Chain A
Amino acid sequence: MEICRHNDQIEISELDPFLAELLRQIPASASPDGLPAAEQRLFSSPTNGKEPELCAEWKIYVEPELRRLFQSATETVAADLEQLNGNEKSLANRTLRIPATHTDAWLSALNQARLVIAAKNNFTDSELSDHFRSPIGSRRDLSLFQINFYGFLQEFILRDLDG
């Protein structure tokens, strides 16, 4: 896999089918539906449970806006990922181009996905510090690899934004 900046877009080329599939899974992985721990993490309390009136207002007025914000980001990413669904041979390497104007949506969707996966698997701090675990093994190993891969992409986008 290679990542570079071309004019006003980030180009991820030589994407093998495995990494392409991990990218395709970003929108689904970012959804906290049916996962109370993930829901709680994405929509955390503004006061750590204190100030019940403020928490109640937050649920009514702020959470829906946050949901829209997060959903908008994953929709943008999902639309960009359509590029990976071409008519090429299924085992061929792919190229993905992310417009510069979409980088914030990507940062958000990648972060949502990482947080949801971490909450879903209840990873320990020690596991989350293991950035070189092989994806080959258990489903848990694969999930940890997914978090690390998405983190790598976030890091690249951040460096790009930083100039």
Chain B
Amino acid sequence: MIPAEQIRPESASPMPPTALYSLFELRASYVSGSAMSRERRRGVGGRAQSKDTGGTTHVSGETGSVTTAEPTKETRSEEDLDVPWQIVVHNDPVNLMSYVTMVFQRVFGYPREKAERHMLEVHHQGRSILWAGMREPAELYVQQLHGYLLLATLEKVS
């Protein structure tokens, strides 16, 4: 990550303070977008995750009889879902340090100090674990982080 102070030209004029605006709205819109995909991907309300593979219908040309194969379902076990996952953010040399801090504040609601701690950990150690918990919210967080163009991955907690 790039320290902000290194790229500020000396001619940069200082900004007057402005009201904090739109953070909540923007954050909400990202969550909303994620939730929409969630419904398509998972269905809502279910504890176990399942995926329809679709049924197939065959018509016999000779007899005219119709046979329908039952759709199969792949279901992930409760055990699979209960495994805790962690969100790891990886260092990249392009994103600004101040930008990464802002993203951590927005996505996780972390106070600035905590967000900066994680940002510095990413910068110095190459990665930082930002959050751990159930898979579904973890996926949503990673989706938001990717929306902000951060290198973020999900890992099972070993």
Segment of B15-23, B52-60, B65-73 engaged in the interface with chain A:
B15-23
Given A46-B153, A128-B2, 15 more pairs with CB closer than 8 A: A3-B13, A44-B146, A46-B152, A54-B139, A65-B34, A65-B36, A66-B147, A100-B22, A111-B95, A128-B93, A128-B94, A131-B2, A158-B99, A159-B98, A160-B18
Q: Which residue of B lies closest to A50 (CB)?
A: B155
Closest 4 CB pairs of A and B: A128-B93, A163-B17, A151-B7, A131-B7
Report whether B153 and A156 are in contact in the complex, using a CB–CB cutoff of 8 Å.
no
Tell me if B33 is interfacial: C-beta within 8 Å of chain A.
Answer: yes
A93 within 8 A of B: no
Query: Are A151 and B96 neighbours in the complex by a CB distance under 8 Å?
Result: yes
Contact (A158, B94) CB under 8 Å given A46-B146, A104-B22, A151-B2: no
- Give me 18 A-to-B residue pairs in the complex whose CB atoms sit less than 8 angstroms apart, sorted by A's number: A5-B16, A46-B142, A46-B152, A48-B155, A62-B37, A65-B36, A104-B22, A118-B93, A128-B93, A129-B6, A131-B2, A151-B2, A151-B96, A156-B15, A158-B4, A158-B96, A158-B98, A159-B15
Neighbouring B residues of A103 by C-beta, 8 Å: 22
Tell me the count of chain B residues lying within 8 A, CB to CB, of chain A: 44
**Other-chain residue from B36, B41, B102 in contact with A57 (beta carbon distance below 8 A):** B41
Known A57-B41, A61-B41, A148-B7; judge A163-B22 contact (CB<8 A): no
Answer yes or no: A136 CB below 8 A from chain B CBs. Answer: no
Interface residues of A (CB under 8 A from B): 1-5, 42-48, 50-51, 54, 57, 61-62, 65-66, 69, 100-101, 103-104, 107-108, 111-112, 114-115, 118, 123, 125, 128-129, 131, 147-148, 151-152, 154-156, 158-163
**How many residue pairs, one in A and one in B, have C-beta atoms under 8 Å apart?**
118
- Complex CA–CA separation, A66 to B105 (angstroms): 20
Chain B residues with CB under 8 Å of A4's CB are 13, 15-16
